[in-house]
Amino acid sequence: MEQQFTFTGKQKTFFLGLMALGAICLALTYLGDTTPHHERFWTNFLHNSVFFTGISFIGLYWLAAHTIGYSGWHIGFKRVVEAMTLFLPIGLLLLLVMIVGLYGGFHHLYHWAADGITDPNSANYDKIIAGKSALLNKGTYTGVTVIVLLVWAAIAWMMRRHSLAEDKEGGLKRYKSMKLWAAVLLPVGAFSSAFCIWLWIMSIDSHWYSTMFAWYTSASWLVSAMCILTLIIIYLRSQGYMGHLNKHHLHDLGKYVFAFSIFWTYVWFSQFMLIWYANVGEETVYFNNRMKHFPVLFYGNIIINFLLPFFVLMRNTTKWKVGSLTFICIFVLFGHWLDFFQMIKPSIWAGLKHHAHEAGHHGAEISDFMMGFHFPGLLEVGTFLGFLGLFLYFVFAQMAKASLVPVNDPYLYESLHHHA
Amino acid sequence: MSKKVLYGLYNDEETLFSAITKAKQSGLDIMDVYTPFPVHGLDDVMELSESRLHIAGFVYGALGTLTALGVMTWVFTRDWPIIFGGKPYFSFPAFVPITFELTVLFAAVGMVLSFYIVCGLGPFAANNPVLDDRITDDKFCIAFDTTGMSQIDLEKYSSFFDNTGVAEVNTKII
């Protein structure tokens, strides 16, 4: 039953090529940036770091939820999810770059980090942000990011360690230890991920907040993680691995993409409708900006992330046929990357516009259409591919370190006979 | 029209599966299979064509969507326009939750009713005999319709149950 995955030189070269492309794109973005503080570069960096770190975290959460829920069907491809969770330390490194930028003043993404913002005597004083300064400050940002990511990475490592030891030892001891760590992660991960989402993304709109935001963002992560997982499994099957999975595994993965696309739409709409209905200026400013100045992103988001998977994956056959599943997973993965794009970029653009306006004609000219802000340009797509290469490189390297089948898992037999 | 049904009871679904496969291989005409709970993969073994209930469900759901949107649009723009909270008469976001609810309601109720009618259950059914009460408890049943069958065929059907791990074979006129 043991199955050893080989990370071939060809795959390595391909992923390294993608990473090189990403690095070149990041460098070009930095050098060619016309924005005052390299906003295009920093938003791209933050966007992709958060996107892939989140996918890795959701992999861990998904694994924990299935472990706690006595799930058996996922055991056949559990090692792929485990490999995804081991990207978390890299996510920490990526976000450390953001933290260095925060202290060094290299980027001005977070308005709350500006000098004198909490000082009543300063010209920069902002009463609203001063009131939120207990959460929105450099120390909390750093502390939460580092501690939370270390905890997640540690739990991911513990789950992995027990899983690998189970291969050698057998028995139920390791299985029980994995359950314990899964039980620890579920509440800890749920609350801590909300803090991370608030600090990493929502605090870009320092004045604005939404109680639905953490739900909405983690739903976006979840769908992306399911798409990446499905695509990796389909790829592995095309390479002759994972022969023990049957069409019902793909069917259930398709159901995940389908169901959580609907869940994402549900939370997206819940956030939108509450704000639209109440019509409070402090809250509607977020959507007003997006609907007025970013209509392609705003409406495209719904089409690509709801209508497309909803109508295509509704039939059972499209959920287990490799062609339709691959097609939808690629589109929806890109769609959710676009969703994160429209969470970050419009806010930064509005800030730039505001500052240019305040500075009069002496400030930098901010046009009504900016490539890389209103729509992802080639540099953004290249950066995305670079980060994707980085993510896949680590996932594949981890997959190659152990058998693709957890041979002694008590639920393995159930997974081999899975019937949806 | 009463039917003469020959049926065998099995203790678990594993023996049931192999018995069905054997019956299919011998070219026997199975009237129906009854189980106390939904058994995964049974429709594949019985070579049943895919249910069309979900297509009906989609149609009912679409009907619910159209009904909700149509009625709300007509009421709030033509019949009795009222301004709520300064919103326009046609306020699509406000219509979405009710549209969603009616879509689910129409699809769910429509599918349940269709299912009952197709299966001959509920108050629409004139006659719905049960072969054996234990089928609803812990027994798995393969039934053959042997009405007006020749003696040779009857032999063939009865002897099928030998060596299939059957717990019990009965005949009943329903």
| Structure confidence at residue A361 as a pLDDT band (50, 70, 90) | low
CB contact under 8 A, A269 and B85: no
pTM of the model as a whole: 0.92
Distance from CA of A417 to the nearest CA of B (A): 11
At A362, the pLDDT band (50, 70, 90 cuts) reads low
**Cβ-Cβ contacts under 8 Å for A256 (sequence gap 6 or more):** A226, A230
For residues A238-252, one letter each, b for 16 or more C-beta atoms within 10 angstroms of the residue's C-beta and e for the rest, the string is: eeebbebbbbbbbbe
Which residue among A272, A273, A419 sits closest to B40, beta carbon to beta carbon?
A: A419
Residue of B40, B44, B65, B101 to mutate, interface with A, max A Cβ within 10 Å = B40
> Stretch A68-90: mean pLDDT, rounded?
96
| DSSP for B64-131, written as a single string | HHHHHHHHHHHIIIIIS----TT--SS-HHHHHHHHHHHHHHHHHHHHHHHHHHHHT-GGG-S----S
Residues of B in contact with A277 (CB under 8 A): 85, 93-94
CA distance A36 to A373: 14
Q: What angle do CA A129, A192, A269 make, to 5 degrees?
A: 75
Domain ranges of chain A: 9-401
Residue A253 neighbours by CB under 8 Å, 6+ apart: A226, A229, A230, A233, A325
Name beta bridge partners: B5: B145, B172
Q: What is the per-residue pLDDT across A93-126, written as a single tens digit (0 to 9) for each?
A: 999 999 999 999 999 999 999 988 999 999 889 9
Cβ–Cβ below 8 Å for A273 and B97: yes
pLDDT in tens, chain B (174 residues): 688 899 999 999 889 999 999 999 888 889 989 999 998 888 888 888 888 999 999 999 999 999 999 999 999 999 999 998 889 999 999 999 999 999 999 999 999 999 988 887 877 666 677 888 999 999 999 999 988 888 888 888 888 888 888 999 999 888
**Any CB–CB contact under 8 A between B38 and chain A?**
no
B56 vs A: CB within 8 A: no
d(CA A82, CA A157): 9
Whether B27 has its CB under 8 Å from any CB of chain A: the answer is no
Euclidean distance between CA atoms B27 and B109, whole angstroms: 38
Task: Kindly state the average pLDDT of the residues A349-371.
Answer: 78
